[in-house]
Amino acid sequence: MASWFEKDEKRRFARIKMPAQVFIRPSQAIIEKQIFYYPVNYQPTAFIKKSKRLEAELKINIASIVEQKDLLENAFQDGILLAKLFGKLVQDISQGKNMAFTKKGMKKLEQISLGFLTNSNLKQNGSKSLHFFELINLKFIAYSKNLIQTLQRSNSTKFIFQDDLSKVFLIDKIMPKFKDKKYQQIALAKSLYLFSELINLYLASYWELLQEHSANQEPNKWHQSLIGISACGLDIKLNKDYALSTKLDIGLFFPETKTYLQLKGKLSRSVVTKKNEKQLNCIDFNFPDYKQQQAIENQQQIYQINRCFIGI
């Protein structure tokens, strides 16, 4: 039997793609383990596929580097291994594990806090790429120290974090330039770009985790997403997913009319998008009342009318 988001024009309620500022979080937090957490998978199938793709492309490009190949390959490999360790620590949190509680865990935390250049010989050998590695490493260390502080300050009943990762790091201003065709044809430049993307992927999983705990944000500060919405449910592309039938709290904010809706729902399906870059989460609303359904349909109509007037 087709789900509501697969029924095309046979639906009882019309569904359209439109922008909205969205906040979604599991209705129930878990407080029975080492750290307070919400049951969310921050590294779903889409994440795994993207990380494998980036790593495979990186290895291919590294093989084409001519100068200082062995030296650079070691630096890239050290970074990949540490990024994976960082990602494992994020997954541990999402399962209620706090690595700050054990000696073995503390060694892992110390390892990520130092970054991936501690054993590198790039500086001694005067590598031209050292500056870029250092900038990527600075961002990695900033995220790592934030994660460590979170683990050390949190426990089974509270999750405490420092919101100091919102700034734009210098590497984030530089790397988009490496997407240019002229750089993509240079093995080292493309390798640095892919490496930065891979590191960012793991760091972003921690950022997603922090957003789960930012309940006090004002609706107008929520992230804007393109969603498929009807009066009975929505679908949204995210970098995370939830277990099937997970009960969810959904906040929707439509800035044009300053309309705010609070709904309950549950995950009905999660699939990887065609480009394997995002996880499409499909959510059924739990018995929305008439006013809520009417508000959604009003927002749909306003959006469609505005599109007609501005010709998009």
| Assigned token pair, 26 | 């599991």
Residue 251 and residue 108: Cα distance in Å, rounded?
Answer: 36
Residue ranges in the chain modelled with pLDDT below 70: 1-12, 215-216, 276, 310-312
DSSP 179: G
Cβ(240)–Cβ(34) below 8 Å: no
List beta partners, residue 74. Answer: none
Give me the pLDDT at residue 215, please. 64
Q: What are the boundaries of each domain within the chain?
A: 4-29+218-310, 45-212
Cα–Cα separations (whole angstroms), residue 185 to 5, 136, 180: 41, 21, 9
Nearest to 109 by CA among 134, 93, 85, 136: 85
Residue 184 and residue 190: Cα distance in Å, rounded?
Answer: 5
Quickly tell me which residue has 């639906």 as its tokens.
Answer: 11
The interaxial angle of helices 187-212 and 69-93, nearest 10 deg, is: 10
Give me the pLDDT at residue 1, please. 44
Nearest to 143 by CA among 107, 74, 90, 214: 90
Residue 196 and residue 198: Cα distance in Å, rounded?
Answer: 5
CATH architecture of the domain with residue range 4-29+218-310: Beta Barrel (2.40)
DSSP 233-300: EEEEEES-B--TT-EEEEEEEETTTTEEEEEEEEEEEEEE-TTSSSEEEEEEESS--HHHHHHHHHHH
CB atoms within 10 A of CB 9: 6
Give me the pLDDT at residue 281, please. 97
Residue 208 and residue 199: Cα distance in Å, rounded?
Answer: 15
pTM of the model: 0.90
